[in-house]
Structure 1
């Protein structure tokens, strides 16, 4: 007769999953959209460190020394990467090393030495633009002239992005149940896993309603509506039952901008929303509507100075 207590032999065979990989732990802490970006950044970092053939999850990140990070920043500088981009690389490595320290894979002294390596200093002129109201109307007119379902869908996307100031990732992840047409608000999941309420004007909700009415009209009889707002549309104007991606939002903004004769990025709608609120109200209410923790972040979105400087120069007549 065994002297072991009941269940002891089974307990001895149970093994907890390995949670010591610092890269997996770091990526698991990020939002899905940020996870994809940082995975690409770390893959490129591994390539630049001479580990391009290795699976990034097998790279011994905890073995990195300050000299490796310094060399990485140098290669990014040589390739003319913007300072903000080098900060992204350095911050990604710091995040992985923080997890390595928590798992006792590195000492606190090594962590501090890695943290001491600074990204490249300097700034670059922003690529964004302030989309004035007349240009928003031009973009909506371009969509209205498109007889395909894409016309109504893209108009609704532009209206919601500009009318509420939400990010493109928030717009693709929002569900129909999170939209309140009566109160004209949308409940979104923002950065930092924060649940936020976004408001939009009546004309934006009218544009959204026209798109939803078309989508529902094309559903087979008895089929329930899709749970999300914006669908992927394939060639032949076929509205799929698939949620649109944030990469598709980028192509929609670029395509509709080209049709209106300008170059537009999706984040320009958010920049323009914040700038207009600052222009017509004040910085404080813009911060609340943008859901920025720090008012300095909101101020960095203020693009009024570009318009003012251009207006001053235009007035310098001969």
Structure 2
């Protein structure tokens, strides 16, 4: 019989590679707070944790002013490991229920994201157009797809040419929960994407096949590598291009702005469908209309 894996290994194996990195960091910090400072994550007897340990962990996160969502991430990560421990008969169902009963920090925080207005998107596209390097066309295509379709940066990183349909202006992506989704983007976004792909092909030696993925890493000296772009690179691109137009931008701001614009110009139901949110309350949380907009609504309540 093959040896039974540890609950931690089984839990991590179920996660996407990008989520695995985040959960590794979260569990390492949780382990340090629980007193396992010099112990390898895989050597920690996670199944021996008691409800009191989780309660104490939540308390330290509260004392350090961690946001409720971050606290939930810690608690859910430990629950994931304990679920696997139960499946391996390392803990009883009663023990698992006690662990599940521990709640993360309650409350909410105001979003730190921003709504990127249409005029600012045009400025970003103009900045990219003025860049004579290959980065100019690549970044323009990336911004156009992120804003034009509302996809997540992780989805854009994993995009392949085979997932594009230029006739339908659609992109087939694998989203959260391993769900296959169809996203749509406007004509101008696909035009920017086509400009980038034509430039990339023109830089290939004769007879060399095009790369299967959509966005490449570009090194210093404007060298287009045969490597797929990373999520960190997209973060850097958003920050760099944002600073060129005088604002701080995070990659997820493009998705926030897409959803906000759909809510403004259409309705919440359409925004939910285009964002592929299971729960409409998640879509509501993406509404980034500013305080002036809300003041104008209230000001219309005349006597």
TM-score (norm 1): 0.91
Please list the CA deviations of residues 136-164 of structure 1 after superposition, one character each: whole Å capped at 9, or x if unmatched: 01111111111111111111100000000
Identify the residue that residue 164 of structure 1 maps to in structure 2.
Answer: 149
TM-fit CA distance, 1:309: 3.0
State the match for 2:248 in structure 1.
263
SS, match of residue 304 in structure 1 = coil
From 92, 114, 122, the equivalent of 1:129 is 114
Taking the aligned partners of 1:42 and 1:129, their CA distance within structure 2 comes to 30
Q: Work out the CA distance in 1 between the residues paired with 2:209 and 2:180.
A: 26
Equivalent pairs, count: 300
Deviations 1:178-215 (A, max 9, x none): 10111100000001111000000000000001111111
SS at match of 1:241: strand
Q: Which secondary structure does the structure 1 equivalent of 2:105 belong to?
A: coil
Of the three residues 141, 145, 163, the one matched with 2:130 is 145
Partner of 1:75: 60
Aligned twin of 1:234? 219
Partner of 1:112: 97
1:221 pairs with 2:206? yes
Tell me the residue number matched to 1:66: 51
- Conservation of the 8 A alpha-carbon contact between 1:19 and 1:25: no
TM-score by length of 2: 0.95
| Residues 35-44 or 303-312, more deviating | 303-312
Structure 1, unaligned stretches of length 5 or more? 1-14
User: Could you tell me how far apart the structure 2 residues matched to 1:306 and 1:214 are?
Assistant: 42
Q: Distance in 2 between matches of 1:32 and 1:131?
A: 29
Larger radius of gyration: 1
- After TM superposition, give the deviation of residue 68 of structure 1 in Å: 1.1
Q: Which runs of 4+ in 1 moved over 2 A?
A: 304-307, 309-315
Q: Trace 1:222-301 onto structure 2 (pairs within 5 A).
A: 222-301=207-286
SS in 2 for 1:94: helix
d(CA) in 2 for partners of 1:93, 1:167: 26
Alpha-carbon distance in 2 for matches of 1:200, 1:271: 15
The residue correspondences of 1:25-64 to structure 2 (distance < 5 A) are 25-64=10-49
Correspondence 1:89 to 2:74: yes
Q: Does residue 102 in structure 1 map to residue 87 in structure 2?
A: yes
In the other structure, the counterpart of 1:303 is: 288
Q: Quote the Cα distance in structure 1 between the aligned partners of 2:162 and 2:9.
A: 32
Q: Secondary structure at the match of 2:181?
A: strand
Other structure's SS at 1:130 match: coil
Residues in 2 aligned to 1:68 and 1:82: alpha-carbon distance in whole angstroms: 20
**Equivalence for 1:190:** 175
